[in-house]
């Protein structure tokens, strides 16, 4: 039997551990997907945003590229927002995009797509093989581009390419391209001099420091410096154990408050984060005059666009390990005064249930190794204050800011790490951007817990409109039942109306999270916090 491009591509997928295919199929992919070999696994999601979101969670948990298959213009177009999130979260994805039959593309037939450029600059690489026989090599290259560029790499494949005869040339070798592990000693010396001479240093950590080695190095460095440690705002992941006594909280997202927080520090060392991620535009500098800012990052884009006095482009874990060995210990320096937000008192008779009550109840029950996937804009500050990340990958969010990430990402994380409890905390408005993902959770037996905070409105948008002194034109949607939608998708769900029911349900469900194979949606009816300010 003649060896086909499809056969050769399957071998490439096997050699690069791309044996799970996340997809929502279309006609241009049928030739690739029909009668898959037994060692390849197909995972269906009911919308392309959920396809990419699930793959993003899967790749994040495994720390290696995942494979996505999208259907020509419609599929890629539907997935662009999720691909943007993968890029900003720096998650490697290999994305096969179907195209019409190569033999009549010149005539622009039905389903022919203008695909190169449709996703803008969010892919780290886009390949359009010149011949069918170039497809396997393009897929191999996409794996390397995705891994080294830390984002989605696309390969556009016409539907007839799969059945074409493969070349007799050997399979592309799995070239091992690794970043140099060594760190420039001169750069570390300069950084050590800057930080070691500081009278009042501070650390700011970010998503690119979210691994065991970086956490260990940063803890040692922070304890030698006896300085506060702040988390960057809008981070995709946590860069430091947030239950550590020197963890000071999350940086504010506006320049005025940022200057206040960092005032009094003569050196701010930022590790694994840009300098500085903000939300509203405000006039003025990021820090007060006289405060030096240094950056340690392995992301060249962050190094280029961050207004830092010194930037070191290298592994955050390795630089911080060396730095902790070189900076002088400061045993006599006072530890930073770090304030902690106490858990709110339970609501009294006639008082509404609020998001903070839910966060506090979760914090008191979930295990330290739990992965919390967040997408609840109006109650994110409550989550940050009350539900700390205590292990690497303990917190996951969409750094891009677009909605529709948390439900599918939680599913992907749990698929990749079935031994870890996974809890998604999602607003009801946010959940509707990716609600189709719940079908996949139910169908594939993914035992994640989805806590949906239901206030029947876009609360954060309401607050933003009120801050401008106006009235929002959008209505509430209190008639939407997320638990009803979940059940219609085959996913078990419960609706929780009061604090006692919340505690009873969590006491029942949380102990099962490590072993359960059935998802559960808890739609918790809450009142918006009237004091919340975005």
Q: Helix, strand or coil for residue 382?
A: helix
* 179 occurs within a structural domain: no
Q: What pLDDT is recorded for position 534?
A: 56
The reply to whether 19 and 73 lie within a common domain is yes
Looking up residue 93, the CATH number of its domain turns out to be 3.40.50.970
The reply to whether 157 and 192 lie within a common domain is no
Residue 170 has pLDDT above 60, yes or no: no
Residue 464 has pLDDT above 80, yes or no: no
Segment holding 74, helix H or strand E: helix 72-88
Distance CA 426, CA 377 (A): 9
Name which residue leads in pLDDT, 68 or 338: 68
Q: What pLDDT is recorded for position 127?
A: 94
Distance CA 112, CA 144 (A): 28
Instruction: Give residue 178's pLDDT band: very low, low, confident or very high (50, 70, 90).
Output: very low
Q: Can you give the residue range of the structural domain that contains 503?
A: 355-525
**Tokens representing residue 453 in the block:** 């905070």
The reply to whether 284 and 398 lie within a common domain is no
Name which residue leads in pLDDT, 232 or 287: 232
Q: What pLDDT is recorded for position 342?
A: 86
Residue with tokens 């794996």: 143
Q: State pLDDT tens for residues 373-390.
A: 999 988 999 999 999 999
Q: Helix, strand or coil for residue 124?
A: coil
The reply to whether 391 and 489 lie within a common domain is yes
The reply to whether 189 and 53 lie within a common domain is no
**pTM (2 decimals)?**
0.93
The reply to whether 52 and 97 lie within a common domain is yes
* 343 occurs within a structural domain: no
Instruction: Give residue 532's pLDDT band: very low, low, confident or very high (50, 70, 90).
Output: low
The reply to whether 440 and 394 lie within a common domain is yes
The reply to whether 485 and 448 lie within a common domain is yes
Instruction: Give residue 530's pLDDT band: very low, low, confident or very high (50, 70, 90).
Output: low
Question: What would the mean pLDDT of 478-497 be, rounded to a whole number?
Answer: 95
Residue 362 has pLDDT above 80, yes or no: yes
Contact (Cβ atoms closer than 8 angstroms) between residue 222 and residue 204: no
The reply to whether 426 and 471 lie within a common domain is yes
What's the total number of domains in the chain? 3
- Choosing from 311, 326, 341, the residue where a domain stops is 326
Residue 207 has pLDDT above 80, yes or no: yes
* 252 occurs within a structural domain: yes
Distance CA 474, CA 367 (A): 39
Of 261, 229, 258, 263, nearest to 246 by C-alpha is 229
Q: Helix, strand or coil for residue 284?
A: coil
Instruction: Give residue 133's pLDDT band: very low, low, confident or very high (50, 70, 90).
Output: very high
Question: What would the mean pLDDT of 188-205 be, rounded to a whole number?
Answer: 92
* 110 occurs within a structural domain: yes
Kindly report the number of other CB atoms within 10 A of residue 424's CB atom: 33
Kindly report the number of other CB atoms within 10 A of residue 469's CB atom: 6
- Choosing from 163, 195, 225, the residue where a domain stops is 163
* 448 occurs within a structural domain: yes
The reply to whether 209 and 314 lie within a common domain is yes
High-pLDDT (> 90) share of the chain, %: 71
What φ, ψ does residue 266 adopt, rounded to 5°? -85, -20
Q: What pLDDT is recorded for position 171?
A: 57
Instruction: Give residue 181's pLDDT band: very low, low, confident or very high (50, 70, 90).
Output: low
Distance spanning both ends of the chain, measured CA to CA: 63
Q: What pLDDT is recorded for position 533?
A: 59
Q: State pLDDT tens for residues 264-279.
A: 899 999 999 988 888 8
Q: What pLDDT is recorded for position 272?
A: 94
């Amino acid at each position: 039997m003649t060896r086909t491009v499809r056969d050769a591509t399957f071998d490439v997928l096997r050699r690069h551990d791309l044996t799970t295919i996340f997809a929502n199929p279309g006609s241009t992919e049928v030739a690739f997907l029909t009668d898959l070999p037994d060692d390849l696994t197909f995972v269906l999601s009911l919308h392309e945003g959920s396809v990419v979101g699930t793959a993003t969670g899967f790749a994040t948990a495994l720390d290696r590229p995942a494979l996505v298959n999208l259907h020509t213009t419609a599929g890629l177009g539907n997935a662009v927002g999720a691909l943007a999130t993968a890029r900003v979260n720096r998650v490697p994805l290999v994305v096969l995009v179907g195209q019409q039959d190569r033999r009549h593309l010149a005539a622009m037939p039905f389903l022919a797509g203008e695909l190169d450029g449709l996703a803008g600059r969010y892919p780290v690489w886009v390949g359009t093989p010149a011949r069918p026989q170039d497809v396997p090599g393009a897929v191999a290259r996409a794996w390397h581009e995705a891994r080294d560029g830390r984002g989605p790499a696309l390969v556009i494949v016409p539907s007839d390419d799969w059945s074409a005869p493969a070349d007799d040339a050997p399979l592309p070798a799995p070239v091992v391209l690794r970043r140099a592990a060594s760190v420039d000693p001169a750069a570390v010396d300069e950084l050590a001099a800057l930080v070691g001479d500081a009278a009042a240093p501070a650390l700011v950590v970010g998503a690119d420091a979210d691994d065991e080695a970086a956490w260990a190095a940063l803890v040692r460095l922070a304890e030698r410096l006896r300085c506060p440690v702040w988390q960057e705002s809008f981070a995709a992941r946590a860069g430091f154990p947030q239950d550590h006594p020197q963890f000071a909280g999350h940086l504010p997202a506006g320049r005025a408050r940022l200057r206040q927080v960092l005032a009094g520090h003569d050196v701010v060392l930022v590790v694994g984060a840009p300098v500085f991620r903000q939300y509203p535009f405000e006039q003025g500098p990021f820090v007060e005059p006289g405060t030096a800012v240094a950056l340690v990052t392995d992301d060249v884009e962050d190094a280029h666009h961050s207004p830092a006095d010194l930037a070191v482009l290298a592994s955050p874990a390795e630089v911080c390990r060396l730095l902790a060995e070189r900076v002088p210990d400061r045993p006599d320096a006072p530890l930073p005064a770090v304030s902690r937000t106490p858990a709110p008192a339970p609501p009294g008779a006639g008082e509404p249930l609020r998001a903070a009550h839910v966060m506090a109840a979760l914090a008191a029950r979930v295990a330290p190794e739990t992965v919390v996937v967040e997408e609840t804009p109006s109650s994110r500050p409550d989550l940050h204050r009350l539900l700390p990340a205590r292990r690497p990958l303990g917190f996951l969010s969409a750094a891009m800011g677009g909605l529709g990430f948390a439900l599918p990402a939680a599913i992907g994380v749990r698929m990749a790490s079935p031994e870890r409890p996974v809890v998604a905390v999602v607003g009801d408005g946010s959940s509707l951007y990716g609600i189709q993902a719940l079908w996949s959770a139910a169908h594939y037996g993914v035992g994640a817990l989805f806590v949906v905070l239901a206030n029947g409105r876009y609360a954060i948008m309401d607050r933003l409109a009120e801050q401008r002194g106006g009235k929002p034109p959008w209505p509430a949607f209190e008639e939407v039942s997320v638990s009803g939608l979940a059940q219609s998708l085959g996913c078990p769900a419960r609706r929780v109306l009061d604090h006692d029911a919340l505690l009873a349900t969590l006491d029942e469900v949380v102990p099962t999270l490590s072993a359960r194979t059935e998802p559960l949606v808890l739609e918790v009816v809450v009142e918006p916090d009237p004091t919340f300010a975005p």
